[in-house]
Amino acid sequence: MDIATLIGLVLGCVLLVGAILLGGDFGMFVNIPSILVVVGGTIASLFIRYQMAEAFSITGIMGNAFSNKQEPPEDVINQIIDMASIARKDGILALEKVKSENVFLQSAINHCVDGADPEFLEAVLEKDMAYLGDRHAKGIDMMAGLAEAAPAFGMIGTLIGLVQMLANMSDPSAIGPAMAVALLTTLYGAVIANLFFLPIGKKLDNYSKSELISRQVIIDGIIGIQKGVNPRMLQEALKAALPPKLRVE
Please enumerate in sequence order all residues whose Cβ is within 8 A of that of 40, keeping only pairs 6 or more positions apart, or say none.
none
With the C-alpha atoms ordered 130, 96, 220, 1, is the resulting torsion angle positive or negative?
Answer: positive
- 160 found inside a domain: yes
For residues 188 and 176, give the distance between their C-alpha atoms in angstroms, rounded to a whole number: 19
Q: For 222-249, what is the mean pLDDT? A: 85
AA letter at 132: L
Span 174-225, pLDDT tens digits: 677 777 778 899 999 999 999 999 999 999 999 999 999 999 999 999 999 9
Evaluate whether residue 246 is within a structural domain: no
**Between 190 and 117, where is the model more confident?**
190
Tell me if 243 is assigned to some domain: no
Residue 184 lies in a domain: yes
Report the predicted TM-score, pTM, of the whole model to 2 decimal places: 0.85
Domain membership of residue 202 (yes or no) is yes
Q: 105 with 113: CB under 8 angstroms?
A: no
**Do the domain assignments include residue 95?**
no
In the predicted structure, residue 249 carries a pLDDT above the cut 60: no
Phi-psi group of 115: left, alpha or beta (phi > 0 → left; psi -120 to 50 → alpha; rest → beta)? left
AA letter at 105:
L
> Number of structural domains, the chain?
1
Question: Using one digit for the tens of pLDDT, what is the confidence trace for 127-181?
Answer: 999 999 999 999 999 999 999 999 999 999 898 888 878 877 777 776 777 777 7
Instruction: Look up the domain containing 156 and give its range.
Output: 31-70+125-236
Q: What is the pLDDT of residue 130?
A: 94
Residue 137, number of CB atoms within 10 A of its CB = 13
pLDDT in tens, 36-85: 999 999 999 999 999 999 999 999 999 888 887 778 888 899 999 999 99
b vs e for 70-85, b when ≥16 Cβ sit within 10 Å of the residue's Cβ? ebebbebbebbbebbb
Is 241 among the domain residues?
Answer: no
6 in a structural domain = no
